[in-house]
């Protein structure tokens, strides 16, 4: 166990939140990506996370991103015969991305980042205070 285990644990949460924010921004950037009806649509990605089994402190080891998973479901087909990617029937495939879900995830990931950053700052302040006690 590291002397700074709480900082190490919060750092895993901070890294995971940053990666989650990147995945969300990728999903939202492709919100209007349409494809011809004969191609696979863009599908939003979900970040898979598990507990880090390396014990960094008595409380645990934080979290560990393990991979990305594509959202399943039927894509929406839209009729837009003037679009350059429309097929012979004038059909396009919309991406499988839910804006409301991505916005909710964005709020949660942002709060996760903020909370872990604040936990690191609090731990650093506590260690600084402990060092000042010895010098008093």
Q: Which residues have CB under 8 Å from 97's CB, separation 6+?
A: 27, 28, 30, 31, 42, 43, 44, 71
Q: What is the pLDDT of residue 53?
A: 82
Residue 17 has pLDDT above 80, yes or no: yes
Residue 15 has pLDDT above 80, yes or no: yes
Tens digits of residue pLDDT in 48-84: 999 988 776 566 788 999 999 999 999 999 999 999 9
Q: What is the pLDDT of residue 136?
A: 58
Tokens of 115: 């909370």
Tokens of 29: 């950037």
Q: What is the pLDDT of residue 92?
A: 92
Mean pLDDT of 101-122: 96
Tens digits of residue pLDDT in 92-105: 999 999 999 999 99
Q: What is the pLDDT of residue 1?
A: 46
Domain count, the chain: 1
Cβ neighbours of 35 (radius 10 Å): 16
* Interior/surface letters 77-98, b for 16+ CB within 10 angstroms, e for the rest: eeeeeeeeebbeeebbbbbbbe
- DSSP class of residue 17 equals H
Contact by Cβ (8 Å): 123, 117: no
DSSP notation for 38-67:
TSPPPB-EEEEEEE--S-SBTTB--EEEEE
- Please state, in angstroms and rounded to a whole number, the distance separating the CA atoms of residues 114 and 133: 29
Structural domain range at position 70: 5-135
Facing residues of 60 across strands?
57
């Amino acid at each position: 166990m590291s002397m700074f285990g709480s900082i190490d644990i919060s750092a895993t949460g901070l890294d995971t939140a940053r990666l989650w924010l990147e995945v969300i921004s990728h999903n939202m950037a492709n919100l209007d990506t349409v494809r011809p009806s004969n191609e696979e649509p863009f599908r939003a990605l979900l970040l898979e996370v598990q507990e880090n089994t390396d014990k960094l402190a008595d409380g645990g080891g934080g979290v560990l991103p393990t991979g990305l998973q594509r959202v399943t479901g039927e894509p929406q087909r839209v009729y837009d015969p003037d679009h350059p990617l429309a097929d012979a029937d004038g059909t396009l495939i919309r991406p499988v991305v839910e804006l409301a879900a991505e916005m909710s995830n964005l709020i949660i990931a942002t709060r996760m980042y903020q909370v872990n950053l604040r936990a690191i700052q609090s731990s650093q302040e506590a260690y600084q205070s402990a060092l000042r006690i010895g010098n008093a």
